[in-house]
Copies of this chain bind each other. A is one copy, B any other.
Amino acid sequence: MRIVIIDDDNLVGISLKTILEANQEVEVLAIGNNGKEGILLYEKYQPDVLLMDIRMDIMTGIDAAKIIIEKDKNAKILFLTTFLDDDYIIKALQLGAKGYILKQDFESILPALKAVYSGQNVFGDKIISKIPSFLDQKKALEDLPFSISQKELELIRLVADGLSNKEISQKLYLSEGTIRNYLSNILEKLDLRDRTQLAVFYYQNHLDLYR
């Protein structure tokens, strides 16, 4: 199996090469340090699998993958990363990446590589559990220094529906001033500046999935 490794940290690249080449079947053709090099090295060597970091200077792994897959839709790209990021996962899936696993999982890398080589897609547990539609993730509100009452949550939802203070006050049979005070409290608790940031908070934490 001929592979190319791309990682910001050269040490990681070298270590991976050593680990992987301990296996007879693996041949590391080249090591690069950023997305641009990823593109060039992929074109030059046409590896069976491209093992690539996501966060990199100059050009990210995501951007590089996009370009590579545009040219070769059968490219097999396995992302290696040190942390989790919902956005990246979704993007990676959309691009047609074949996998997404944590660098820390040393023992997993080789099997993952082989599975990808054989045509499968591989994802780590923690990653699968990030895909919002399937899994139940913790309500972010429970991890806060201050607790949010039921009434406050109700208010947050109405803001996240795009209602104005006046509309909310009518809906809840409270005065507009009261709504403002409530909201002001909520914003302080959550360390946000205005209702738009509150709505952003709501959706980015997938609170809409728990209605």
Interface flag for A177 (CB, 8 Å) = no
Interface residues of A in 104-123 (CB under 8 A from B): 105, 107-108, 110-112, 114-115, 117-123
Binds B, one of A33-41, A140-148, A191-199: A191-199
What range describes how many residues of A lie at the interface? Answer: 35 or more
Interface flag for A160 (CB, 8 Å) = yes
Per the bound structure, the CA–CA distance linking A87 and B134 in Å amounts to: 12
Q: Is the pair B119, A125 in contact by a Cβ cutoff of 8 Å?
A: yes
- By a CB distance below 8 angstroms, the chain B residues around A90 are 132, 134-135, 209
Interface flag for A94 (CB, 8 Å) = yes
Per the bound structure, the CA–CA distance linking A124 and B119 in Å amounts to: 7
Per the bound structure, the CA–CA distance linking A47 and B162 in Å amounts to: 42
Q: Is the pair B108, A119 in contact by a Cβ cutoff of 8 Å?
A: yes
**What distance in Å separates the Cβ of A19 from its nearest Cβ neighbour in chain B?**
13
Per the bound structure, the CA–CA distance linking A76 and B77 in Å amounts to: 25
Which of B125, B133, B134, B200 touches A199 (beta carbons < 8 Å)?
B200
Q: Which 7 A-B pairs have the closest CB atoms?
A: A203-B203, A162-B197, A115-B115, A111-B114, A111-B115, A111-B118, A108-B118
15 contacts between A and B (CB under 8 A): A93-B135, A94-B132, A94-B135, A94-B209, A111-B114, A112-B115, A112-B120, A119-B124, A119-B125, A121-B122, A121-B125, A121-B128, A131-B131, A161-B200, A162-B192
